[in-house]
Amino acid sequence: MLLQGPGAQPLAAIFFKMKNTTPQAVQACHELLQWMIPQLDKFPRVRRYTLGERLETGLLEVLEDLVAAAYSRSGAKQEALVRANLRLETVRHLWLWLL
C-alpha cells in the first residue's frame, strides 16, 4: 500500500523505520502483546472475559507507560518506568497463576 502524494513511501518502509527507532523495551512489550493476545483467545470463555481481559489491559498499560517514559524527561521518565514495572509484575503474577 502506498501513501498518496509526491515522495510517498510504502507503509512497510515507514513501519520499518519506526521499528528501528523504537526503544527496545517498547518493541519487546509490543512483541509480547502480539504473542499473548492469540494465547488469550485460547482461554476458556469463563476466564477469557475476566483474567484474559486483565492480562491484556495490564500489558497495554505497560506499553503506554513505556512509551511515556521513552518520550519524557528524567523525573517523569522514572515515574513512568516505576508504573510500568509494577504493572508488569502484576501481569507476570496473573500469568504464572494460570500455569
- Interval 42-68: pLDDT, tens: 888 888 888 899 999 999 999 999 999
- Look at residue 10 in the predicted model and tell me its pLDDT: 64
- Look at residue 6 in the predicted model and tell me its pLDDT: 56
Is 9 a domain residue? Answer: no
DSSP 8-state secondary structure symbol assigned to residue 5 = S
Helices marked H in 1-99 — which ranges?
11-21, 24-41, 45-47, 53-70, 74-98
Is 12 a domain residue? Answer: no
Residue 59: domain span? 23-98
Domain count of the fold of the chain? 1
Is 32 a domain residue? Answer: yes
Going by C-alpha positions, the residue among 91, 40, 94, 46 that lies closest to residue 65 is: 91
pTM, rounded to two decimals: 0.76
| Contact in structure between 13 and 3 (CB atoms under 8 Å) | no
Is 50 a domain residue? Answer: yes
The more confident residue out of 8 and 45 is: 45
